[in-house]
Amino acid sequence: MIVKRDKLTFWEKLYVPAIWGGLKVTMRHALRKNVTMQYPEVKWAVPPGYRGAPYLVKNQEGRTKCVSCQLCEFVCPPKAIRITPPGPQGAPGAGNVEKGPQAFDINMLRCIFCGYCQEVCPEEAIFLMKDYSLTGLTRGEMVFDKEKLLKLGGVHDDRIQKWEHKAEEAAHQGVAP
């Protein structure tokens, strides 16, 4: 089958309209405001409800809030959390904390950022931070241990300190805490 084509005009043979159309597109983009984000200096604003990486937090006294109940480990769908219980029991200055984890590891390569660990934690010891840039050169660097999780999580200032609140309730009821 032979397809009949129209003859090219003089201007079409010179390719001037095609070149002019390409130059118009190039100039339109060249004169437009810069839309490239300078990533390390400028970061995206995350929306409310964003679920980032989970981190451990300390209380106002600087102690780990985690009591090694292992609920977060049990509820984690990809099994990214590993807890080795218990740490030293009855440590001096431990307050009302029953036991602390000896080791607390989160494999960030396995974590799916579902937020179940934060929801299930009875002590409010684990929170999802608003970061989205987790990098590492090796797989081992992406397994965050207890010290790294506490350093990244920082101190969580409770508006109501649970143990003091319970002691006040007990005092009002005339019961020893």
pLDDT tens-place string over residues 64-110: 888 889 999 999 999 999 999 875 555 555 555 567 888 999 999 99
Annotated domain spans of the chain: 54-159
% of the chain at pLDDT higher than 90: 41
pLDDT of residue 15: 83
| 5 exposure class (CB count in 10 Å sphere: 0-12, 13-18, 19+) | exposed
All residues at 6 or more sequence positions from 139 whose CB lies less than 8 Å from its CB, including other chains = 109
Evaluate whether the domain defined by 54-159 bears CATH number 3.10.310.10: no
The enclosing H or E element of 103 equals strand 103-107
- Whole-model pTM: value is 0.65
% of the chain at pLDDT higher than 70: 82
Residue 176 has pLDDT above 70, yes or no: no
The enclosing H or E element of 59 equals none
Residue 141 has pLDDT above 80, yes or no: yes
Q: Which pair of structure tokens corresponds to residue 78? A: 């990809």
Q: Per-residue pLDDT tens for 10-67?
A: 888 888 888 999 999 999 988 888 778 888 888 888 898 899 999 999 888 888 888 8
The enclosing H or E element of 53 equals none
Other CB atoms within 10 A of residue 76 CB: 21
Other CB atoms within 10 A of residue 57 CB: 22
- Residue located via tokens 């965050």: 144
